[in-house]
Amino acid sequence: MEGLKKDVIRHVVSSLGSDYASKSAYNYYNALALAVRDRLIDNWIKTQRSYYDEKAKRVYYLSLEYLPGKSLMNNLHCLGIYETARKAMSDLGFSLEDLAEQEWDAGLGNGGLGRLASCFLDSMATLGIPGYGYGIRYDYGIFHQVIEDGKQVEQADNWMRVGNPWAYERGQHLFPVRFFGEVKNWTDEYGRLRHTWTAGDTVLAMPCDMLVPGWDNHHVINMRLWSARSDVEFDLDFFNTGNYLGAVEEKIFDEKISKVLYPSDQIEEGRELRLKQQYFFVTATIQDILRRFRKKHQDMTELPQSVAIQLNDTHPAIAIAELMRILLDEDLLDWEVAWDICVSTFAYTNHTILPEALETWPVSLLERMLPRHMQIIYEINARFLREVERVARSEDCGQLCHRDLDHLKQRVSLIQERPIKSVRMAHLAIIGSHSVNGVAALHTELLKARVFDDFQRLYPQKINNKTNGVTPRRWLWSANQPLSRLIASHIGTGFVRNLDELTQLEPLAADPAFREAWRAAKLENKQRLQAYIKRKLMRELHTEHLFDVHIKRIHEYKRQVLNLLHVVTAYNRLRHGQAADFTPRTVFFGGKAAPSYFMAKRIIHAINAVAATVNADSRVNDKLQVVYLPNYCVSQAERVIPATELSEQISTAGMEASGTGNMKFALNGALTIGTWDGATIEMAQAIGPELLFIFGMREDELVSLRQHGYNPMLYYHGDEELREALDMLRSDAFSPGQHGLFAPLVDNLLHGGDRFFVLADYRQYLGAQQDVGRLYLDQEEWTRRSILNAARMGFFSSDRAISQYAREIWDVAPMAGLQNG
């Protein structure tokens, strides 16, 4: 402890240039972070050396998004110095918890996809897998959300304004990135046609490294984020022409590339700068991968034995064309050889089946910005379509007439003709990879049977499932110390590394003393949230209420509106005196809407309007409260999830690829109210469906309802409570003086086809909520179920997920000797 104290004081003085006697929390947080980083870097260097020594196969995880959140507490726990740090800082006059609050969340992602990437890095480090995360260091992460007059307002997230003590910026290791220009043809010594991409604009990519430690094992891996730097200052011509201000303007223009994270998920916007971001990040990453590879290899055909590249959705899929370009134009390999290397190296994970989220880029844009890549994509497509024709003809399917073959080719082509000629990035990713995986069992089945059915027939071995998982280090041990300590006092701490060990809790579910201790831990978390809400929102929570929580991105398919209709109905029952047996509850909502997503923003407004009405109504507000948590983010999730008793996972069946929040809640002892969707299905199977509150139509039932003609009006006319709730929303019951404010929301349900079947599931949802309320009155039974839920969550560790990727996709093994310290 004395060592750490000395290091902290030294950093306050010599790294931060401050007087250690002026006790600024900000300085002491930064100094502590630097002292922790010192302890990580030694292990990082040793880890990297061991990869070279053992000629280990490396895994590269390419993702446009990461959501690490705050690093301090997690790193202290992983290094096993949390207690030491707590005492050291307390000696210096600080509470560690307060210091940790000084850190800004690294919010370099939108939601599930980005957080999954961060959980996966944690698991690679813990399992001792030679992994690297590659991404972009956005200057501005996901926007900061404030709620003004009930509406979302976005503010810039300048997360590095005060510096980032965790990152190593490596300004000397720059990689060139080219755009635009033209392709020149030439003939090589064997008379083969060759291509060279020349001229165009050049930007530089600067690496920033953030270290990711494993749990108690001295293994530290790297998240390398690229930041755009102009090459103007390196090119004296720019200044020598005398146009000084012009040169500086160009510098600013270049550096725009890594300026901001696009704040939308599920909706594709097709902006030119977004494509620039993708290629910028991809080419820098591939250059870095090949640089490392070439240190020990000359023969490029050995690449797949040394390197696995995982594409996190299609966002980095241009990497396939980029690696082809290098192998063809720089290494001068033959097409077939280069293509085999690519397919054996790449693997692709799909995270959504919503059609509006499938990425396409206009051919005209690609031709201009990346002319050589567009040529290569055309060539990939031509060869692929010939192959499709060959397979289709060779197959013994007499029914396959030419007409069908033409249709098949149109459907699977990399190029889509309408509405404008574009490249389908998912098709590129599928053809260029040896593995295509979905993120939960149902999701993968839907990929095979619906979205990518043609590819499933062409390559029956390619599509596979890897159900998502979450890291128990952050989402149980670090976020929920009261519960973790209780668990550890009965079964030891092995569960942090091997989550299956939680099954040892099962017998304790029958033990009244353990149940009481479990409830006490939960209450402590509820009180901690209560204090936080009081501080931030100046509201008083009732900790004896059932805490019912719905936090995630705001999206129609996630059906926050269904939850809201339950709240309005509960409100009406209470007002009308028809709810004598109502179990008091507080309903929490939280989440960001894409700034361009009109309906999602209106949903936020509606939630806040209902909240204001309910909370102000003294007839009901001792029994029902609604809280909107502004600026939902990773560190907020870490506070809210441990305090949650009921987890809302109520997406339209078939639409949530997996969900990972669902796992974090159950791991922390919340019960789930949910639909038969995503990984919630597998959770129900692992836990026992009778221990969750499952309701609603299933995916196949929705397909047939859609086919037979779904008429939301039938539900409106047939259900008095539903009609009352919708009529209130449409009138100005929740928006006094602003008539029609929420009409778009209601119209969308009644006259817009209710694409997400809110009305179809309403009555069943109310029934399930009734069951929830009733069970909560029996605290012994509720607690028993809560314990069993957590006890059976072992499968949903990201360690299990990563082990499956390593074995079944990457063909890598954990490093010997590094796994256990």
When binding is defined by CB under 6 A, the residue of 232, 333, 657, 766 that contacts ligand 26M is 657
- Cα–Cα distance measured from residue 606 to residue 589, given in angstroms and rounded to the nearest whole number: 11
Residue from 5, 144, 351, 785 carrying the catalytic annotation:
351
Burial class (CB in 10 A: 0-12, 13-18, 19+), 744: middle
**Closest to ligand 26M by CB, 112 or 712:** 112
- For ligand 26M, which stretch binds (CB under 6 A), given 100-108, 135-143, 257-265, 394-402? 257-265
Q: C-beta of 768: minimal distance to ligand 26M in Å?
A: 21
The 8-class DSSP code of residue 211 comes to E
The 8-class DSSP code of residue 797 comes to B
Residue from 218, 292, 424, 558 carrying the catalytic annotation:
558
Angle formed by the axes of helices 720-730 and 560-575, nearest 10°:
100
Looking only at residues 415 through 444 of this chain, which bind ligand 26M when binding is defined by CB under 6 A? 439
Q: C-beta of 103: minimal distance to ligand 26M in Å?
A: 24
Q: Is 116 in the site for ligand 26M (CB under 6 A)?
A: yes
Q: What are phi and psi of 752, to 5 degrees?
A: -100, 10
Sheet of strand 624-629, all strands in order from the earlier edge strand to the far edge: 624-629, 585-590, 546-551, 646-649, 671-674, 693-694
Q: C-beta of 263: minimal distance to ligand 26M in Å?
A: 8
**Closest to ligand 26M by CB, 7 or 313:** 313
Dihedral sign (CA 709, 713, 717, 718)? positive
Contact at 8 Å (CB) between 761 and 695?
Answer: yes
Q: Is 591 in the site for ligand 26M (CB under 6 A)?
A: no
**Closest to ligand 26M by CB, 247 or 357:** 357
The neighbouring-strand residues paired with 66 are: 108
Q: C-beta of 108: minimal distance to ligand 26M in Å?
A: 12
When binding is defined by CB under 6 A, the residue of 7, 105, 209, 268 that contacts ligand 26M is 268
Which alpha helices (DSSP H) does 54-179 contain, by range?
A: 72-79, 82-91, 96-100, 112-127
Which alpha helices (DSSP H) does 641-778 contain, by range?
A: 661-667, 678-687, 699-707, 712-718, 720-730, 743-750, 758-777
When binding is defined by CB under 6 A, the residue of 111, 304, 316, 630 that contacts ligand 26M is 111
Q: C-beta of 267: minimal distance to ligand 26M in Å?
A: 7
**Closest to ligand 26M by CB, 370 or 679:** 679
- For ligand 26M, which stretch binds (CB under 6 A), given 230-238, 614-622, 654-662, 785-793? 654-662
Residue 584: asked if its preceding bond is cis (omega within 30°), the reply is: no
Q: C-beta of 494: minimal distance to ligand 26M in Å?
A: 27
Beta pairing, strands 220-230 & 131-136: parallel
Q: C-beta of 470: minimal distance to ligand 26M in Å?
A: 10
Nearest to 661 by CA among 591, 604, 587: 591
Number of residues that bind ligand 26M (CB under 6 A): 23
Contact at 8 Å (CB) between 649 and 659?
Answer: yes
Q: C-beta of 807: minimal distance to ligand 26M in Å?
A: 19
- Cα–Cα distance measured from residue 184 to residue 815, given in angstroms and rounded to the nearest whole number: 45
- For ligand 26M, which stretch binds (CB under 6 A), given 263-271, 275-283, 410-418, 610-618? 263-271
Q: Is 357 in the site for ligand 26M (CB under 6 A)?
A: yes
Q: C-beta of 357: minimal distance to ligand 26M in Å?
A: 5
**Closest to ligand 26M by CB, 64 or 508:** 64
Burial class (CB in 10 A: 0-12, 13-18, 19+), 813: middle
- Cα–Cα distance measured from residue 719 to residue 451, given in angstroms and rounded to the nearest whole number: 35
Q: C-beta of 279: minimal distance to ligand 26M in Å?
A: 14
- Cα–Cα distance measured from residue 674 to residue 406, given in angstroms and rounded to the nearest whole number: 42
Q: Is 551 in the site for ligand 26M (CB under 6 A)?
A: no
**Closest to ligand 26M by CB, 439 or 671:** 439
Q: C-beta of 65: minimal distance to ligand 26M in Å?
A: 6
In the Cβ-directed half-sphere of 607, how many Cα atoms lie within 13 Å?
31
Residue from 276, 550, 566, 664 carrying the catalytic annotation:
664
Q: What is the CA radius of gyration of the chain?
A: 27
When binding is defined by CB under 6 A, the residue of 194, 251, 274, 573 that contacts ligand 26M is 274
Here the tokens at position 22 are 């002026």
Q: Is 63 in the site for ligand 26M (CB under 6 A)?
A: no
| Look-up of token digits 């990135």 | 177
When binding is defined by CB under 6 A, the residue of 30, 75, 481, 660 that contacts ligand 26M is 660
Is 552 considered catalytic here? yes
The neighbouring-strand residues paired with 182 are: 198
Q: Is 112 in the site for ligand 26M (CB under 6 A)?
A: yes
- For ligand 26M, which stretch binds (CB under 6 A), given 141-149, 217-225, 538-546, 652-660? 652-660
When binding is defined by CB under 6 A, the residue of 658, 680, 735, 783 that contacts ligand 26M is 658
Q: C-beta of 667: minimal distance to ligand 26M in Å?
A: 15
Residue from 47, 613, 660, 680 carrying the catalytic annotation:
660
When binding is defined by CB under 6 A, the residue of 113, 223, 363, 412 that contacts ligand 26M is 113
Looking only at residues 676 through 695 of this chain, which bind ligand 26M when binding is defined by CB under 6 A? 678
Residues with Cβ < 8 Å from 785, sequence gap 6 or more? 671, 691, 775
- For ligand 26M, which stretch binds (CB under 6 A), given 349-357, 383-391, 416-424, 565-573? 349-357
**Closest to ligand 26M by CB, 579 or 663:** 663
Q: Is 654 in the site for ligand 26M (CB under 6 A)?
A: no
Residue from 5, 137, 552, 784 carrying the catalytic annotation:
552
When binding is defined by CB under 6 A, the residue of 264, 381, 560, 636 that contacts ligand 26M is 264
Q: Is 262 in the site for ligand 26M (CB under 6 A)?
A: yes
- Cα–Cα distance measured from residue 812 to residue 250, given in angstroms and rounded to the nearest whole number: 44
Nearest to 74 by CA among 40, 112, 27: 40
**Kind plus residue range of the DSSP H or E element containing 378:** helix 371-394
Contact at 8 Å (CB) between 68 and 210?
Answer: yes
Widest CA span of the chain, in angstroms?
90
**Closest to ligand 26M by CB, 198 or 596:** 596
Contact at 8 Å (CB) between 804 and 796?
Answer: no
- Cα–Cα distance measured from residue 739 to residue 743, given in angstroms and rounded to the nearest whole number: 8
The 8-class DSSP code of residue 778 comes to -
- Cα–Cα distance measured from residue 816 to residue 54, given in angstroms and rounded to the nearest whole number: 9
Looking only at residues 455 through 474 of this chain, which bind ligand 26M when binding is defined by CB under 6 A? 468
Q: Spell 385-417 as b/e; 16+ CB within 10 A means b.
A: beebeeebeeeeeeeeeeeeeeebbeebbbbbe
Amino acid type, 156: A
- Cα–Cα distance measured from residue 364 to residue 374, given in angstroms and rounded to the nearest whole number: 9
Q: C-beta of 375: minimal distance to ligand 26M in Å?
A: 24
When binding is defined by CB under 6 A, the residue of 107, 630, 659, 712 that contacts ligand 26M is 659
Contact at 8 Å (CB) between 693 and 672?
Answer: yes
- For ligand 26M, which stretch binds (CB under 6 A), given 156-164, 258-266, 578-586, 792-800? 258-266
Q: Is 799 in the site for ligand 26M (CB under 6 A)?
A: no
Is 553 considered catalytic here? yes
- Give me the 213-242 binding string for ligand 26M, x by CB under 6 A, dash otherwise: ------------------------------
**Closest to ligand 26M by CB, 134 or 776:** 134
Instruction: Catalogue the active-site residues.
Output: 351, 552-553, 558, 660, 664
Positions that interact with ligand 26M (CB under 6 A)? 110-113, 116, 262, 264-266, 268-269, 274, 351-352, 357, 439, 468, 656-660, 678
